[in-house]
Amino acid sequence: MNDELSKYTFDEIEIGLTKQFQITITETMVDDFAKLSGDFNPLHTDSEYAVSSGFHGRVCHGMLLGSFFSRLIGMYLPGKHALHFSQSLKFVNSSTINEKVTVKGEVLDKSTATKIITIKTTIINESKKIIVDGTACVKVRDN
């Protein structure tokens, strides 16, 4: 999937509609997120510490991963008409630098009265393990 902005209207969205994109977690992303968030926990910033703690390398911030749901909703599902109301997150497994992940969304429900859609949001790694799981509620605006 490219970064072209989707423009789904409420009426065009069907239950079961799915969108996804892949992204590789880079060292620069993790370093920049540490600076932005102020979270310099050594699991995220020190390879030796992360490995000695039982991980395969520096651990990606869970909230960095969660931020990819903003891209999913704001760019792809529904895209231009989205107003992201809420997002639940469950961090199921860790992700490390240089890991390629798939960010997925699937429409579970839609309310005609409120024009709010419910989206199952999931991030999985190349081994098909769930990394982050959640649910988003999104208002689909008219313009």
pLDDT digits (tens, 9 = 90+) for 95-121: 999 999 999 999 999 999 999 999 999
* Overall average pLDDT of the 51-76 stretch: 97
Domain definitions of the chain by residue range:
10-140
What residues have CB less than 8 Å from 122, skipping those under 6 apart? 103, 104, 105, 130, 132, 133, 134
Dihedral of alpha carbons 80, 87, 50, 54, sign: negative
Predicted pLDDT at 2:
60
Mean pLDDT, range 13-19, rounded to an integer = 98
Query: What is the CATH code of the structural domain delimited by 10-140?
Result: 3.10.129.10
Q: Phi and psi of 10, rounded to 5°?
A: -55, -45
Q: Average of pLDDT values for 37-53? A: 97
